[in-house]
């Protein structure tokens, strides 16, 4: 059996030689953490901050910088006098979430790169882990611990059924490989630049989303009006029920033809069912699809039980696809521009109307009969077109940023697999 060579697949040219592999416990020592629950914490005042495992799972960046994170204080009436100074967090420490409900997050770790002079403790369901000696560069370990080789080991030693847990003993045995400190520093600096690019794109995405939301509010409240091409004002808007502007469609697939099967989700609208269910759709599973509805181009479809969370889509140029018989399918009449309606469906006003017109017991539904009772503000076709074109131009910019952001995240993911061993 050949010996494993600890050399990364992707490496800066000035470095050579193998990385040194050692157990986690030979590089780090474990310190004492507290078990204060959320009701012992607050975000308003206090002397000492507390890192809660739930925040590691949901919001903290891998390289933890106190100056940009929102971290709760420990309540003043909680006695922390017995906590030794050595057990307060230091720059370079790792804080590990030792419990999770899924394998993907078990052992999720943040590396502290800046505490902003704030006294800080690691809290409930965490390990506080400190490097021994001076052989590890700040910013390196947080990225290394996200690599697949390490993540796979952590998931393997996790124990539990409904809630997974890690023990210090099992975590200590996990093998990690380290290069020289200069190589660590170069890797950390490079990955920080990648993270900065991702952060910039995320901020741009957020700002564009806020801009679109503000623009929609101004437009649909008629605080902002477009003008005709000759500079004249468009006619006043009307309030018209959707039942007067749309009509149901959705012929059944009675011949059981294996058309492409689509689902509707609240992110992308129409999406191939196989992409949502592990590469399979109802055709692959041999299900009867004769009751599925045939959808052609320029058709809207929604799930009556999930329209309240945005599960409504527009088919654009899709043709001869099928969706579940549970979906409501409809088209617009000539007075209503499709892309104008698509934009309006994303407004707070429409979402409030959904809640008003839903019906049911444990689960709420919005069937077409009630959907058709919702009134929407309706300008003329020419003004609808100007509105939809304007909002579509913003959507195009958002889509470009989304694509760049996704590519950057995939690039970072590939780097984590190729730059570490």
CA atoms within 13 A on the CB side of 234: 20
| pLDDT bracket for residue 287 (50, 70, 90) | confident
What's the CATH number of domain 21-178, 3.40.50.150, 3.90.220.20, 3.40.30.10, 3.20.20.70? 3.90.220.20
The domain defined by 238-378 carries CATH number 1.20.120.420: no
CA atoms within 13 A on the CB side of 343: 26
pLDDT value of residue 276: 63
| pLDDT value at 409 more than 70 | yes
Q: Output the average pLDDT for the chain.
A: 94
pLDDT value of residue 288: 85
Q: Which fold has domain 181-235+379-421?
A: Helix Hairpins (1.10.287)
| pLDDT value at 281 more than 80 | no
pLDDT value of residue 103: 83
pLDDT value of residue 144: 97
Averaged pLDDT for residues 5-21: 95
| pLDDT value at 253 more than 70 | yes
pLDDT value of residue 1: 45
Tens digits of per-residue pLDDT, 181-216? 999 999 999 999 999 999 999 999 999 999 999 999
Is the torsion defined by CA of 167, 168, 174, 180 positive or negative?
positive
pLDDT value of residue 181: 97
| pLDDT bracket for residue 275 (50, 70, 90) | confident
Q: What percent of the chain has pLDDT above 70?
A: 97
Tens digits of per-residue pLDDT, 94-117? 999 999 988 889 999 999 999 999
| pLDDT value at 285 more than 90 | no
CA 49 to chain centre: 26
| pLDDT bracket for residue 2 (50, 70, 90) | low
Averaged pLDDT for residues 140-149: 95
Q: What percent of the chain has pLDDT above 90?
A: 90
φ, ψ (nearest 5 deg) of residue 371: -55, -40
Q: Do domains 21-178 and 238-378 have the same CATH topology?
A: yes
Averaged pLDDT for residues 131-157: 95
Tens digits of per-residue pLDDT, 325-341? 999 999 999 999 999 99
CB atoms within 10 A of CB 363: 9
| pLDDT value at 347 more than 80 | yes
**What does the domain layout of the chain look like in residue ranges?**
21-178, 181-235+379-421, 238-378
pLDDT value of residue 160: 86
| pLDDT bracket for residue 3 (50, 70, 90) | low
Give the residues across from 155 on adjacent strands: none
Residue 314 three-state SS: strand
Integer distance in angstroms from the first to the last C-alpha of the chain? 19
Tens digits of per-residue pLDDT, 30-57? 999 999 999 999 999 999 999 999 999 9
| pLDDT value at 282 more than 60 | no
Min mean pLDDT across 73-87, 125-139, 155-169, 218-232 is at 155-169
**CA–CA separation, 353 vs 351, rounded Å?**
5
| pLDDT value at 294 more than 90 | yes
Cβ proximity of 394 and 210 under 8 Å: no
Kindly state the helix (H) or strand (E) to which residue 286 belongs, with its residue range.
Answer: none
pLDDT value of residue 277: 58
| pLDDT bracket for residue 69 (50, 70, 90) | very high
Residue bearing the bigger pLDDT, 174 or 160: 174
pLDDT value of residue 102: 84
């Amino acid at each position: 059996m050949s010996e494993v060579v600890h050399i990364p697949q992707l490496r800066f040219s000035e470095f050579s030689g193998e990385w040194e592999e050692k157990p986690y416990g030979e590089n780090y020592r474990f310190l004492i953490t507290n078990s204060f629950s959320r009701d012992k914490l607050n975000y308003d005042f206090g002397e000492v901050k507390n890192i809660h495992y739930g925040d590691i799972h949901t919001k903290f960046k891998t390289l933890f910088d106190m100056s940009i994170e929102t971290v709760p204080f420990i309540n003043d009436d909680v006695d922390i006098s017995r906590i030794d100074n050595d057990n307060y967090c230091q720059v370079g420490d790792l804080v590990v979430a030792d419990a999770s409900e899924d394998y993907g997050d078990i052992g999720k770790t943040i590396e502290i790169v800046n505490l902003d002079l704030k006294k800080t403790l690691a809290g409930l369901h965490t390990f506080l882990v400190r490097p021994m000696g001076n052989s590890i560069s700040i910013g390196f370990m947080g990225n290394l611990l996200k690599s697949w080789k390490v993540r796979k080991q952590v998931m393997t030693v996790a124990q539990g059924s409904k809630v997974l847990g890690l023990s210090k003993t099992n975590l200590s045995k996990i093998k990690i490989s380290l290069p020289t400190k200069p190589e660590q520093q170069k890797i950390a600096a490079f990955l920080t630049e990648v993270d900065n690019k991702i952060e910039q794109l995320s901020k741009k995405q957020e700002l564009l989303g806020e801009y679109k939301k503000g623009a929609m509010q101004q437009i649909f409240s008629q605080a902002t009006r477009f003008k005709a091409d000759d500079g004249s004002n468009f006619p006043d808007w009307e309030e018209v029920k959707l039942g007067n502007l749309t009509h149901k469609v959705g012929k059944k697939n009675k011949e059981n033809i294996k058309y492409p099967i689509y689902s509707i989700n609240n992110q992308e609208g129409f999406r191939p069912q196989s992409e949502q269910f592990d590469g399979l759709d109802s055709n692959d599973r041999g299900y009867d699809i004769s009751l599925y509805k045939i959808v052609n181009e320029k058709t809207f479809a929604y799930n009556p039980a999930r329209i309240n969370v945005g599960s409504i889509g527009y088919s654009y140029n899709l043709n001869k696809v099928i969706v579940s018989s549970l979906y409501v399918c409809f088209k617009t009449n000539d007075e209503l521009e499709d892309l104008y309606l698509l934009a309006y469906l994303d407004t707070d006003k429409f979402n409030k109307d959904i809640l008003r017109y839903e019906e049911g017991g444990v689960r709420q539904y919005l069937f077409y009969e009630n959907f058709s009772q919702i009134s929407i503000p309706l300008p003329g076709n020419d003004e609808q077109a100007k509105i939809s074109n304007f909002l579509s131009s913003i959507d195009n910019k958002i889509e470009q940023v989304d694509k760049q952001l996704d590519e950057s995240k995939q690039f970072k993911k590939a780097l984590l697999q190729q730059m570490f061993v």
